[in-house]
Structure 1
Amino acid sequence: MSTPEGTTGPTVPGESAIRELVAIAERLAREAGALVLEGRPDRVEVAATKSSPQDVVTAMDLASENLLRERLAQWRPEDGILGEEQGYEPGTSGITWVVDPIDGTVNYLYGIPAYAVSVAAVVGGPDPATWQVLAGCVHAPVDGRTFTAGLGQGAYQDGRRLRVNSAVPLELSLVGTGFGYVAERRRAQAAVVADLLPLVRDIRRIGSAALDLCTLAAGGLDAHFERGLQPWDLAAASLVAQEAGAVVRGLHGARAGSAMAVAGPEQTVERLVAFLEERGADTGP
């Protein structure tokens, strides 16, 4: 275990320990992904809602998270876990698993194949403001794409090393984004997108922030920005993007978090951050 030179941040395990965490993250994500895919009925029903009637939870979200928690209790009983559906359970090891049992639940509800299981191991607490992500896996069950990353060990899609696109001007950039579930937040986000759209090549809204960031890492997007991302949205996919060469940050010098996350090659991110700061994209409802 070590702390990076010149920092007072969380203690980081060695390379072999990180490789083991990556392997566990992938094993977890694949097993939960198989459950999600094979157990999907022809018609998925909404089991509950959260922040609004549009913010849905299915029975499979709950079943997938239960599986992840059961496996982690068996394989890593001293670690903590933060999951989207069941909250935070602290551990004693200093490592916390941050899991999203289905990222892209609305896509799952409608049978749109852009959804994923996201699993990450972090130190420094389950908060993007303080954590260091050590290992992560984002697995898309429908097409089988599996993205993995370990701190300092690169990012991969199904064994292929990933690298983000080189920076290009905003007018040549394909930019991904997403929207919240509350009407007032959506109005504010729509206004930002309306101003940005004439300035970029085009905008994509895939419906899964984890897949957005992994698509960026694989060269399928030039940049991504989104307000309202939660720790389970960011953890694994942000490491995949960073290990592929992306900068992942917030506005006004802040780290990426719920206020705003912007990702891409450094020069593109600088231009996009300047645009978002000018329009106050991290303020309001």
Structure 2
Amino acid sequence: MTSNAASAQLLAIARDIAVRASEFALEARRAGVSVAATKSTPTDIVTAVDRDTEAFIRSLILEARPDDGIVGEEGAARVGTTGLDWVVDPIDGTVNFLYGIPSWSVSIAVAEQAGPRRIEGSTLAGVVVNPVTGELFEASLGGGARSSGRPLAVNTGVPLGQALVATGFGYASEVRREQAEVLLGVLPEVRDIRRMGSAALDLASLAGGRVDALYERGLNAWDHAAGGLIAREAGARVGGVRGGREDVELLVATAPDLYDAFAALLRASGVDA
């Protein structure tokens, strides 16, 4: 198990890289952006800035930690020898990025034994930056979560009917249809729904009390590695299908006192059918 001091050192590296990558991506956005390719569907896009930013991040990681592994959204995984993997989403919220909507982020985490679908060990450090607003959210394992030096804490004491819930949707039409059916069961039972377009920022928002709960299917490890640690260190309970660990099948996160009621609502609405 990595010590708190070692996690703090990893966080310092992650913070520096995330800030530099955010400046890189924001400058590229100001210069103009267009779709470079599509991935799973025509609406699942990648821009040249996604690829260039990830390449920039990879170069900085290898400069600082040449023996670690790297799991990134846009590039092939790099197998390391230390047991630590950097989990990178160079631009989380690419559609927002493309359209100029100021809700996208750079997400960088360090974890034990990470793959694209899930993280097997502990996440040790994580940083999420919104380059447009300049907000930086960060956490280290056992070290708490902060934004601009301010400690973060999830909202507690919120009943299910008053919970503001964040979620997201997939790119394939059939997946969206299934997600819409789940939403029909959830929406009448909570305060309202927010769909902001960046899972990393959704988790950071939960940590900062801007939403009370979130759920989403189809998230890869790079979507939630940093944000999940930030939420946990802010007091959230984070899980997956039938009480298991969060992975590509499902991520659920709320304050501990809301989790069971919210998870029951999701099951009743068919989220893990």
Deviation digits for residues 171-201 of structure 1 (CA, Å, limit 9, x no counterpart): 1000000000000000010111122111111
Deviation digits for residues 1-27 of structure 1 (CA, Å, limit 9, x no counterpart): xxxxxxxxxxx2112211110011111
Q: What's the CA shift for 1:55? A: 0.5
Structure 1 window deviating more from structure 2 (168-177 vs 273-282): it is 273-282
2:37 aligned counterpart, secondary structure: strand
Equivalent position to 2:58, from 46, 64, 69: 69
- Counterpart position of 1:23: 12
1:100 corresponds to 2:89 = yes
Deviation digits for residues 220-272 of structure 1 (CA, Å, limit 9, x no counterpart): 00000001110000100000000000000012121111111000111212111
Does the C-alpha gap of structure 1 residues 31 and 238 become closer, same or farther in structure 2, counting only changes over 3 Å? same
Equivalent position to 1:168, from 145, 151, 158: 158
1:275 corresponds to 2:260 = no
Q: What's the CA shift for 1:277? A: 1.6
1:47 corresponds to 2:44 = no
Deviation digits for residues 117-174 of structure 1 (CA, Å, limit 9, x no counterpart): 0000001333535121000000110000000100000000111000000131111000
1:159 corresponds to 2:149 = yes
- Counterpart position of 2:209: 219
Give aligned pairs, total. Answer: 272
1:91 aligned counterpart, secondary structure: coil
What's the TM-score, normalizing by structure 1? 0.93
Equivalent position to 1:123, from 99, 109, 112: 112
2:9 aligned counterpart, secondary structure: helix
- Counterpart position of 2:69: 80
What's the TM-score, normalizing by structure 2? 0.97
Equivalent position to 1:244, from 234, 241, 246: 234
1:113 corresponds to 2:122 = no
Cα distance in 1 for partners of 2:113, 2:74 equals 21
Cα distance in 2 for partners of 1:76, 1:98 equals 13
Q: Contact conserved, 1:162 with 1:244, CA < 8 A, in 2?
A: yes
Q: Contact conserved, 1:103 with 1:209, CA < 8 A, in 2?
A: yes
Equivalent position to 2:186, from 179, 182, 196: 196
2:241 aligned counterpart, secondary structure: coil
Q: Contact conserved, 1:44 with 1:110, CA < 8 A, in 2?
A: no
Identical-residue share of aligned pairs (%) = 49
Q: Contact conserved, 2:71 with 2:114, CA < 8 A, in 1?
A: no
**Residue 35 of structure 1 aligns to which amino acid in structure 2?**
F
Deviation digits for residues 87-142 of structure 1 (CA, Å, limit 9, x no counterpart): 31110011100000000000000000100000000013335351210000001100
Cα distance in 1 for partners of 2:222, 2:49 equals 17
- Counterpart position of 2:139: 149
2:90 aligned counterpart, secondary structure: strand
1:228 aligned counterpart, secondary structure: coil
Deviation digits for residues 49-81 of structure 1 (CA, Å, limit 9, x no counterpart): 111011000010001000011111111000000
- State the superposition RMSD in angstroms: 1.1
**Structure 2 residues not aligned, in runs of 5+:** none
**Structure 1 residues not aligned, in runs of 5+:** 1-11
**Residue 68 of structure 1 aligns to which amino acid in structure 2?**
I
- Counterpart position of 2:126: 136
Q: What's the CA shift for 1:28? A: 0.9
2:95 aligned counterpart, secondary structure: helix
Task: Write out the 4+ residue segments of structure 1 that deviate beyond 6 Å after TM superposition.
Answer: none
- Counterpart position of 1:8: none
Cα distance in 1 for partners of 2:118, 2:157 equals 25
